[in-house]
């Protein structure tokens, strides 16, 4: 990695931290603005391409993200959604395929926040 690549990587990381801090202060959805900022950065001419090892992401990047999300999640909203989450997490391949086809076709199997079995 050259010095230019290292500086660009530090600038991208610093920018992502700045966007995340700004969104938390304003109460805006952080992931949406991070994706938009990432798209904007990718359009900058001359921006180097960064490739990450998937093992590095699995071991070093995802655990802090999951931990932070767990700390920020609401126990009450999780309790309210437990039935839907359980049904969606316990479906097999065929039922997940049927469910996704129903949702894509516009015939939503969800009514009033509850799963409707037809």
- The pLDDT value given to residue 65: 80
Which of 81, 87, 82 has its CA nearest to residue 117? 87
For residues 98 and 88, the answer to whether their CB atoms sit within 8 Å is no
Give the C-alpha separation, 8 to 16, whole Å. Answer: 12
Q: What's residue 106's pLDDT? A: 62
pTM of the model: 0.48
Query: Residue 116 pLDDT more than 70?
Result: no
Take residue 52 and report the two structure tokens written for it. 């990450």
């Amino acid at each position: 990695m050259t010095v230019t690549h290292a500086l660009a990587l530090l600038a991208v990381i610093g920018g992502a931290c700045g966007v995340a801090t700004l969104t938390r202060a304003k109460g805006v959805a952080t992931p949406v603005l991070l994706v938009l900022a990432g798209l904007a950065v990718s359009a900058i001419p001359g921006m180097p391409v960064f490739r990450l090892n998937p093992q590095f992401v699995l071991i070093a990047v995802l655990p802090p993200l999951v931990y932070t999300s767990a700390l920020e999640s609401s126990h009450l909203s999780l309790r309210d959604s437990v039935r839907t989450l359980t049904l969606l997490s316990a479906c097999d391949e065929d039922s997940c395929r049927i469910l996704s086809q129903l949702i894509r076709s516009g015939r939503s199997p969800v009514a009033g926040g509850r799963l409707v079995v037809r």
